[in-house]
């Protein structure tokens, strides 16, 4: 399925393409400032979720706050896979070199991509994610770098949810960095700064030499 989106070609052929996935009520441009902080030379693909909840865009339906519509999540994850395949061909970037930056609902669909296929993403920055699917056997994620930012007082995503996601991804072989903030569900400048430093270490070392 087509997604409303924006694409901006970067200035570096070495840097991964950044896939931007907004939170509930956001749009394809919401996380552009994060992309600028994390990797200004990268291609940027900002995507808008296809589901509306009280007029607010989301990437998949939920039955209540914190309760996902699992059938819809699985369906929308497959649609996003297909969209990324299409976008890579259309915009001529390397499909195997996509790093997602997701916040809240966007982080959840990014995590679902990882849970679904080992080659879905080269890496991911997940701001305040939850476990997308329970009782699922994860693919081999050996060496896939994942940065998780979470709030110790997050009322929407309790700390145990973060610990569970960390354990599941690490158990599948992912190289997970977990960063805690003392606040709630809001996106903080400090966690974006930490994500930016992590990204440069994992993906841009060769370019900086």
Q: Which of 127, 128, 154, 196 is catalytic?
A: 154
Q: What is the pLDDT of residues 73-128, one digit of tens each?
A: 999 999 999 999 999 999 999 999 999 999 999 999 999 999 999 999 999 999 99
Q: In this structure, what DSSP letter does residue 172 have?
A: T
Nearest alpha carbon to residue 155 among 65, 82, 80, 30: 65
Rounded distance, CA 96 to CA 84, Å?
10
Dihedral (CA of 71, 142, 98, 93) sign: negative
Q: What is the pLDDT of residues 25-77, one digit of tens each?
A: 999 999 999 999 999 999 999 999 999 999 999 999 999 888 899 999 999 99
pTM score: 0.96
Cβ count within 10 A of residue 119:
11
Task: With H, G, I as helix, E, B as strand and everything else as coil, classify residue 8.
Answer: strand
Q: Which residues does residue 103 pair with via DSSP β-bridges, in sequence order? A: 127
142 is an active site residue: no
Distance CA 51, CA 54 (A): 10
Catalytic residue list contains 170:
no
From the list 42, 104, 112, 196, the catalytic residue is 104
Q: Is 42 an active-site residue?
A: no
Contacts for 32 with CB less than 8 Å, ≥ 6 apart = 20, 44, 46
CATH number assigned to the domain covering 5-208: 3.40.50.1820
158 exposure class (CB count in 10 Å sphere: 0-12, 13-18, 19+): middle
Q: 96: burial class by Cβ within 10 Å (0-12, 13-18, 19+)?
A: exposed
**Three-state secondary structure of 14-64:** CCCEEEEECCCCCCCCCCHHHHHHHCCCCCEEEECCCEEECCEEECCCEEE
């Amino acid at each position: 399925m087509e997604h409303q989106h924006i694409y901006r070609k970067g200035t570096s052929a070495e840097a991964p393409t950044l896939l931007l996935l907004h939170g509930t009520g956001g749009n394809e441009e919401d996380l552009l400032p994060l992309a600028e902080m994390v990797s200004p030379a990268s291609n940027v693909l900002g995507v808008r979720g296809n589901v509306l909840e009280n007029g607010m865009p989301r990437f998949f339906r939920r039955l209540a706050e914190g309760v996902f519509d699992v059938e819809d999540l699985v369906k929308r994850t497959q649609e996003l896979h297909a969209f990324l395949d299409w976008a890579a061909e259309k915009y001529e970037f390397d499909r195997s070199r996509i790093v997602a930056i997701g916040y809240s609902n966007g982080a959840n669909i990014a995590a679902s991509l990882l849970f679904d296929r080992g080659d879905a993403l080269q890496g991911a920055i997940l701001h305040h994610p939850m476990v997308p699917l329970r009782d699922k056997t994860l693919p081999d994620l050996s060496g896939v770098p994942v940065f998780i930012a979470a709030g110790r007082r997050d009322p929407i995503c309790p700390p145990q949810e973060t610990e569970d996601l960390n354990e599941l991804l690490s158990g599948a072989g992912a190289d997970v960095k977990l960063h805690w903030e003392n606040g709630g569900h809001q996106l903080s400048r400090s966690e974006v700064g930490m994500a930016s430093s992590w990204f440069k270490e994992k993906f841009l070392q060769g370019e900086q030499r």
